[in-house]
Amino acid sequence: MDKNFYITTPIYYPSAKPHMGHAYSSIIADFFARFKKIDGFNVYFLTGTDEHGLKIQRAAEKKGVKPLQFCDEISETFRNLSKTLNLTNTDFIRTTEKRHKISVQNLWNVLEKNDDIYLSKYSGWYSVSDEAFYSDEEVEEVDGIKIANASKSTVEWMDEESYFFRLSKWEEKLLHYYEQNPDFISPKSRRNEVISFVKSGLKDLSISRKSFSWGIKVPNNNEHIIYVWLDALTNYLSALNYPNTNDDLFKNFWPASLHLIGKDILRFHAVYWPAFLLAAKIPLPKKVYGHGWILSGEEKMSKSKGNILDPIEIIDQYGLDPLRYYLIKEVSFGNDGNISRDRLEDCINSDLANNFGNLCQRVIAFTFKNCDGKIPNNIKFNKDDLKILDKFTKNLEIIRNKIDNQDVNFYIDFIVNSLFEANKYFNDQEPWKKKDDNKRLNTIVYTSLEIIRKISFMLYPIIPVSSLNALKIFDINENQIEFSSITNHLYLKSNEKINKIDILFQKIEKKNND
């Protein structure tokens, strides 16, 4: 079995500072990366910034600075955000780096050599905000302004000499690939959207621009720069040192296991990208997953709509782990999700402070009072203990499988239910009434500690800092977390001392919102 796992986030436009939608893509990718890591995989996790194109050039002009200087500054805020979000990314790529330029120009040369590129003229609609071409049918007029149906962004007419990629030539091959690889585009609903788009007929794609200069030059024709999406998509290869296909990174990690993206950029990843790769005879990524949007009210949160919830502000106020937990739990993965401070506060209070935090504190306090602060010995599991412990064993393979199908909701529901059952178990078993049955008392405490350990392991991909704080009870460190060990019911060593820990989550005093 392939034990290498390559996951990517979209590379972000550094046109403005990061918002919650960007944080969401990155946090979810980090969740998968961390899970795979504790499940024994070698993980390569890539994120970065997408710095070329007219959108960035105009944003820089507006500020009166050179595009590179503009990008340096904002790209740094994205790099900092990766740290603030506690991402385990292995690399952070910028499309203005030399390694990337080499890779893009090389891919261009291969496409040209394979007769997939020709020079002609483009006349049609272009949205600078989406950096996308639109057909007449995809454009409508609202209040005298032409906008793209899908994104509602303004389009402008473009009329210029351009190189084209023979996208139409790959229509059948793409449809065949989707059919042979039913999971390539996920979730299913998005797959259908893409298939009908391709079936409606693919036109050749304009892949160069002449009327501005901020980008990677077309090899052998300095007047043209390469279309920003062809440039940007190639980041997934350049980070692995393409065109050096003998490089270990490339050999180990290509094809990518998962391109995690937002649904708005599915066409680029599920149509154009595989077509470029087919044309260049490079293996196709295993999966493209298009997640939903973070909404504010009923609308997509975005800079242009001015309805941004700033992730940094939220983190300063509530802490990182609560935000990670909230986004992973409350936004049903694959669908759009509305977020609010109110719901975030409920989540902190009920799930994190009450359900998880309290369980840890209760069991620790009881262990100190009744078992000398040590992991009990002299234990014998009965059927109640085994029932709650065996749930982890029974679900090990199921959880792996769900993760491979990006069923984040299953994973988090499993944890929430386990926490609920663990609290119930401790209440129902009433260890405080077993003071004259030492073996039973010990067994209940051992079982409860074992469950805290298992749940903390499972929480690691979601709330890494808090999970590690909880694992301080047992002096377990990050490198010791192994997902497969949730099936071991005797992981904890009897007679070892446990540690008291600080309160994991402070409850939020809720303001009366009425």
Query: Contact positions toward ligand MSP, by CB under 6 A?
Result: 10-13, 21-22, 24-25, 50, 232-233, 235, 261-262, 264-265, 293-294, 300-302
Q: Report, in Å, the least distance between residue 129 CB and ligand MSP.
A: 9
Q: Report, in Å, the least distance between residue 427 CB and ligand MSP.
A: 39
Q: Report, in Å, the least distance between residue 232 CB and ligand MSP.
A: 4
Q: Report, in Å, the least distance between residue 422 CB and ligand MSP.
A: 33
Q: Report, in Å, the least distance between residue 215 CB and ligand MSP.
A: 13
Cis preceding-peptide flag for 283 (omega within 30 of 0): no
Question: Token pair for residue 85?
Answer: 């979000």
User: How far apart (Å, rounded) are the C-alpha atoms in residues 285 and 255?
Assistant: 5
Burial grade of 157 (CB within 10 A; 0-12, 13-18, 19 or more): exposed
Q: Report, in Å, the least distance between residue 307 CB and ligand MSP.
A: 9
Contact predicate 107/226, CB 8 Å: no
Say which residues have a Cβ less than 8 Å from residue 156's Cβ, sequence separation at least 6: 125, 126, 127, 128, 146
Complex with ligand MSP: residue 94 or 191, whichever CB lies closer: 94
Q: How many CB atoms lie within 10 A of CB 457?
A: 23
Q: CA distances (Å), 328 to each of 5, 255, 332, in order?
A: 21, 26, 8
Q: Report, in Å, the least distance between residue 272 CB and ligand MSP.
A: 10
Q: Please name which of 132, 205, 125 lies closest in space to residue 162, comparing C-alpha atoms.
A: 205
Question: Residues 24-52, buried b or exposed e (16+ Cβ, 10 A)?
Answer: bbbbbbbbbbbbbbbbebebbbbbbbbbb
User: How far apart (Å, rounded) are the C-alpha atoms in residues 98 and 238?
Assistant: 10
Complex with ligand MSP: residue 50 or 116, whichever CB lies closer: 50
What 3-state DSSP class applies to 19? Answer: coil
DSSP per residue, 121-173: EEEEEEETTTTEEE-GGGEEEETTEEEETTT--B-EEEEEEEEEE-GGGGHHH
Complex with ligand MSP: residue 337 or 376, whichever CB lies closer: 337
Complex with ligand MSP: residue 10 or 357, whichever CB lies closer: 10
H/E element, 74: helix 67-84
Residues in a beta bridge with 209: 225
Q: Report, in Å, the least distance between residue 11 CB and ligand MSP.
A: 5
Q: Report, in Å, the least distance between residue 233 CB and ligand MSP.
A: 5
438-459 helix and 358-370 helix, angle to the nearest 10 degrees: 150
Complex with ligand MSP: residue 24 or 505, whichever CB lies closer: 24
Complex with ligand MSP: residue 303 or 507, whichever CB lies closer: 303
Q: Please name which of 493, 489, 491, 490 lies closest in space to residue 394, comparing C-alpha atoms.
A: 489
Complex with ligand MSP: residue 26 or 466, whichever CB lies closer: 26
Q: Report, in Å, the least distance between residue 13 CB and ligand MSP.
A: 4
Position with the least CB separation from ligand MSP: 262
Complex with ligand MSP: residue 24 or 325, whichever CB lies closer: 24
Q: Please name which of 451, 440, 441 lies closest in space to residue 390, comparing C-alpha atoms.
A: 451
How many Cα atoms sit within 13 Å of 95 on the Cβ side? 30
Stated length of the chain: 514
Question: Token pair for residue 90?
Answer: 């292995």
What 3-state DSSP class applies to 206? Answer: strand
Complex with ligand MSP: residue 22 or 287, whichever CB lies closer: 22
Complex with ligand MSP: residue 44 or 483, whichever CB lies closer: 44
Q: Report, in Å, the least distance between residue 294 CB and ligand MSP.
A: 4
Residues in a beta bridge with 206: 164
Complex with ligand MSP: residue 228 or 348, whichever CB lies closer: 228
